[in-house]
Every structure is written in C-alpha cells, then in structure tokens.
Amino acid sequence: MKNNNKFLFSVIIKIPKKTLIKINQLFSYKVKIIKKKHDFFYLQVQENDLNILNKYKVDYEIISYKGIKHIYRLLLTHLSVFIGIILFLLILYANTLTIKEISFSTYTKDNEKIKSIIERHYTSFLDVHLLNSDINDINLLLRKEFNHFEWISIERSGCLLKVTILEPSVINKQVEHIEGYGDLVAKTDGMVKFFQITQGIPLIEQNQYVKKGEVLVSGNLRYHNQDESEFYIPAYGHVYAEVWYTKTIVVPKKSVTTEFTGKISLEKKLSLFGLDIKYKSSQNHYKEYHKEENFDQLQIFSFKLPIGIKKIHYLEKNDIMNVYDNKSALQFASSQIRYELSQSFREGDKILEVQCLNESEDDLNYTYVFFVRTYEDIAIFQRRAMNE
C-alpha cells in the first residue's frame, strides 16, 4: 500500500545535473526523472523527502506539486468554477423534483383537502416546492382517506401533478368535462383470437368476426344496466385478431435510389445569445449529403436560456441503380410488404403468411398481388363525444 500511494503527496523539483548522483544515494527508492533540460534534471520525489534534501543542503527548486496537494491547489485556484458547476448540477437536480402545479380531472368538494394532503409531502424553499415522498405512497394514502370515490390517483408529468378522480355523484358532469373517456373500437376487420381487458366491458367473444369501427370494449361500466345513468371511464386493453389483407406492389424494372453510405462528419458549435462559435469540425467533402442539426439548449427550471450546443451531422449519400428481374423483384415486393406492416405493428403483432396470388409485367414494371394474413391488436381508443 505504501508503494502504491507514495506519490499521493509528491513534488516536481529542479536540480543541477551534478546533484543527481547524490540524490540517488540519499533516497531508498529510485527517483523518477521527468525530463532533462540543459544542465538540469526535473525529478518527482515525495514531499516529505524534501526534509532530507534540506538536511544535506542539496540545492533544488520546487516547480509544482502533484497528487493530492496538486488537486487541492487546483481547487483553490478555480474555486469559483467548481462552485458554479456544483450549483448548476444542484439546480438541474432540483428542477427534476420541482412541483409547480396540481391539476384535477374534475371538481369535487374535496379538491382543496386533497391538495392540502399532497402539499404536506412538499419540501419548500421560497417559491420552490419539491416532492419528498414516493407517489405510490401518496396514492395509497389518498385512497384510504377518500374511499368514497370510485377512483383517485395522482401521476406526475414534468412539474405538474395530475389528480384523477371518479366520483359517482358527479358522473354526468364528468362525462361532459373530463377528456379521454370512451370505448375501444376495431381499426380493421378481423377474427378475434385473444383479448385482455384492463378497463371496460368486453362486448366480444373468441373467434368472433368484427368489422372496422365496431365497438369491442365499452367504457360505460353500466353498459348492461340500461335503466341506470351511464358511468364512463377510458376503456383500455388489447384485442388480438387474425386480419386478412390484399396488397398490390409495383416494382420498377430499373430505378435509381439514393442511399446513405454510412460515412458521417460532425460539426459542433457553441451558441451564445444567437452567436455560433465553431469549436469542433470534421471535413465534409461529400458530393451529396443529408444534413441533420440538433440544438441542446440549456434549461433551468422551465426557462430556456439562449445558450447551448449545436450539433450538425453530415451523412453522405450516393445514387444507386437498381435493376430487377422477375425473381429479385418478387423478393423485393415481399420484403416491402413485411417492412410496411412492421412499421405500424405494436407489441405482440406478427405476420402469419405472405403469399403471391398474381403477377404481371409490362415494359417498365412488375406488378404483384399478395394475400397477407396477420395477427395483430386491432383495438384503438375512440373518445366519447361530449354530446353523446
């Protein structure tokens, strides 16, 4: 341990060339020579060994300190910079905890009491309020305190706390004023194979054929009680169905496409109050390129400062001539279908079958007609209109 840490407290000294032999005789360890300049050597020695040099009256000059003392002197020299960095990081961290507003999904007589309970979990300094408790714990407390509600919960969105309340006594008002209540409907025709409903009343069965726009899950919890007033919530869940498509793909026999080569050059600029100062740039000699510019702007709380870093990426592009025969065109058309479908897929969706039904060609193009069978979530949310 001593050998590993012997230079935690060390100095760089300058000695005459003729003194080096004497110093090597005085010290038990091999002295580290940093450099030689003219008739002088620059050595790194332990700080407490300077006492030995003084004892034997060895001429030396301290050039700089290393190790812990060097760091300490660096901190003292740039103290204001380090304090500024620490304060800036503290401000950014505080901004992630700051709460500026509490909003309610609907008005109830208990809103002020709910707000008061939430504010008990604040740590406040001047006009800055920080949430010092876990939201799950606050939710549990609110549900115990206000158990007469159908539902109460809070969620955080940036600096905003959103309180969602379902109160049977104000059902009709809630349907009018709370956005987001509605049903799950079918986005396309299909044969239902599996469904998992989290919220709402399912109106479907397994192996049932449904049409586009048909209600799959009702958000009205009293759907089967027609003699009672409606009680709407946002329906939520997944309805997986087999879906059949007919797709027509046209592939040109010859085409020119522009593709990225993978070569990228980067340029960085420091933006200060509208003035851009370039501080990093790689040469861009591309004949064709795509330019992407991002601006990372400094933000303190909700205020965006006119200070930040601009990053400009230049992506090289080349024109490529594609020539297809019937076989390669068919492969391309099939892959194009799979790509287009996958772009709209959600978790759990998959392609079951892609089969070419018909193919034709003219002087310029190949044309293919495909049958496509998929397994996908066909449920989409449809908000209930306020006048319904």
For residue 170, the model assigns a pLDDT of 41
Task: Flag residues of the chain having pLDDT under 50.
Answer: 1-5, 169-178
> Can you say how many angstroms the Cα of residue 206 is from the centroid of all Cα atoms in its chain?
38
Q: How far apart are CA 235 and CA 268, in angstroms?
A: 47
Indicate the fold that domain 9-76 takes in CATH.
Alpha-Beta Plaits (3.30.70)
For residue 90, the model assigns a pLDDT of 76
State phi, psi for 44 to the nearest 5 degrees: -110, 120
Which residues face 304 on adjacent strands?
Answer: 299
For residue 4, the model assigns a pLDDT of 46
Distances (CA, A) of 182 to 42, 75, 87, 231, 381: 80, 60, 47, 10, 7
CA dihedral 363, 368, 369, 370 (to 10 degrees): 180
- CATH 3.10.20.310 placement within the chain: 96-171
Q: Which of 84, 107, 274 is nearest to 177 (CA)?
A: 107
For residue 385, the model assigns a pLDDT of 64
R_g of the chain computed on alpha carbons: 36
For residue 302, the model assigns a pLDDT of 67
Neighbours of 149 (CB within 10 A): 19
Indicate the fold that domain 96-171 takes in CATH.
Ubiquitin-like (UB roll) (3.10.20)
Q: How far apart are CA 279 and CA 300, in angstroms?
A: 24
- CATH 3.30.70.1360 placement within the chain: 9-76
For residue 138, the model assigns a pLDDT of 85
What residues contact residue 192 under an 8 Å CB cut-off, 6+ apart?
204, 205, 206, 207, 208, 209, 210, 216, 239, 240, 241
For residue 67, the model assigns a pLDDT of 63
> Can you say how many angstroms the Cα of residue 146 is from the centroid of all Cα atoms in its chain?
35
For residue 150, the model assigns a pLDDT of 73
Tell me the per-residue pLDDT of 119-136, one tens digit each, with 9 for 90 and over: 888 887 777 777 777 888
Three-state DSSP at 152 gives strand
Distances (CA, A) of 294 to 300, 303, 312: 19, 19, 6
Q: How far apart are CA 209 and CA 213, in angstroms?
A: 12
For residue 2, the model assigns a pLDDT of 44
